[in-house]
Each structure stands twice: as structure tokens, then as C-alpha cells.
Amino acid sequence: MNEKLSMDELNRLDVTQFKNSEKFPFVFVLDDIRSMNNVGSAFRTADSFRCSHIYICGITAKPPHREISKTALGADESVDWTYFDSPATCMQALKDLGYKIICVEQVKDSISLFEFKPDQNHTYAFVFGNEVFGVNDLFIKSADYSLEIPQFGTKHSLNVSVCMGIVSYDFVSKIKI
């Protein structure tokens, strides 16, 4: 018979174990994300998929903040993050660290998530943009490429936090630590 696992049976890492654990070779970049709930969700998703780091830039709110913590459920304590006031500064830092920069955005010549084949020899920075305006043009023009999540309905966008979950799951399912 199916029954829910207890918290002990889930065998979750505590914050110290998480910080000391091996992470998957990707980071999130939150570019002008307006909703603190989406920021909290980004932290929770990053924790869930052992994302290496979150880079926050522009108007995106940063921890500690009650509204972020409400959605993050403690992941704002486990996932390391860095704030940059401008996309240009963030982009340069990512390049200096050797990341392959990938905008998650609908642009000409984007690569479908179905065709995305991550290379285990690279580290990836997935850039997620503003809920209304998308990813900043500076990131799009400077990125290695853009990745598009195929959609089949009448809407032409997904909530940014949903995109983070889809991209993270896809990446982790294609990469092995």
C-alpha cells in the first residue's frame, strides 16, 4: 500500500550537509525578478536540485526578507548567493568564472530544451528574466546561447519559477555527478 514517507525517511540534508555536498555544475541568474515569491521559489528550486549558487542582479530582491523566506522555506539559508547591481557587472563576473551563459528566453535561433545537451566539462549559468520584459538584452547579446522551453498551448510564456524547475530538472536528468 502507498503511504507518505516520514520526514526521517526522506533522508534530507541539513544546511551544513547541503553546504558541504557536491553541487551540480549550474547556477541561476535572477535578472530583475519583481516578485519576492518567485525569488523564494528560485531558492527552494536551487536547493532541491543542488544548484551551485544564485546570482541576483538589478531590482531582484535579496535575502533576508520575510516574503522571500515565506516561499523559500529555509532554502535562502542553504543556497549561497551573490548580488550585483547591474547586469553588466554580473555578466563579467560569470565570464571571469568560466560559466557558459545561457538565457532562458524566446529569441531567434534559440535552442529547444529538447535538443539541449549539457557537457559535463562546463559549468552553466542559466539566466531567468523579468516576469514582464524577460531577460535583459545585455545578457541575450552576450550569452553563449539561449534556451527555449517548448510550449504547445495558447499562452506563450511560463511563470519564471516554473521555468527554473523545468530547466533544473532537465539539466540534472542529463548530467551525472
What cell does 47 get? 536547493
Look at residue 11 in the predicted model and tell me its pLDDT.
87
Kindly tell me if the per-residue pLDDT of 131 is higher than 70.
yes
Q: Residue 30, class by beta-carbon neighbours within 10 Å (0-12 exposed, 13-18 middle, 19+ buried)?
A: buried
User: Is residue 97 one of the residues assigned to a domain?
Assistant: yes
- 145 — phi, psi (to 5°)? -170, 175
| Grid coordinates of 159 | 511563470
- Establish if 161 belongs to a structural domain: yes
Distance CA(171)–CA(27), nearest Å, equals 11
CB 111 within 8 A of CB 153: no
In whole angstroms, what is the distance from residue 150 CA to residue 114 CA? 8
With cell 551563459, the residue in question is 101
Q: Identify whether 8 is part of a domain.
A: no
Q: What is the pLDDT of residue 73?
A: 96
Predicted local confidence at residue 1, as pLDDT: 77
Q: Structure pTM?
A: 0.96
Task: Indicate the number of domains in the chain.
Answer: 1
Residues 144-169 have a mean pLDDT of 96
- Which tens digits make up the pLDDT trace of 38-96? 999 999 999 999 999 999 999 999 999 999 999 999 999 999 999 999 999 999 999 99
3-state secondary structure of 127: strand
Q: Which three cell numbers stand for residue 9?
A: 525517511
In-domain check, residue 136 = yes
Q: Which residue has the higher pLDDT, 7 or 21?
A: 21
| 150 and 113 Cβ atoms separated by less than 8 Å | yes
Residue 176: band (very low, low, confident or very high) from pLDDT cuts 50, 70, 90: confident
d(CA 94, CA 32): 17
Task: Flag whether 135 is in a domain.
Answer: yes
Instruction: Give the pLDDT score at 177.
Output: 59
The CATH number assigned to the domain holding 89 equals: 3.40.1280.10
Locate all alpha helices (DSSP H) within the chain, ordered by sequence. Answer: 7-10, 15-20, 36-48, 66-72, 75-78, 87-96, 137-142, 160-174
| Structural domain harbouring 76 | 20-174
109 compared with 11, residue with greater pLDDT: 109
Question: To the nearest whole percent, how much of the chain has pLDDT over 70?
Answer: 99
- Tell me, yes or no, whether 4 lies in a domain: no
3-state class of 86 per DSSP? coil
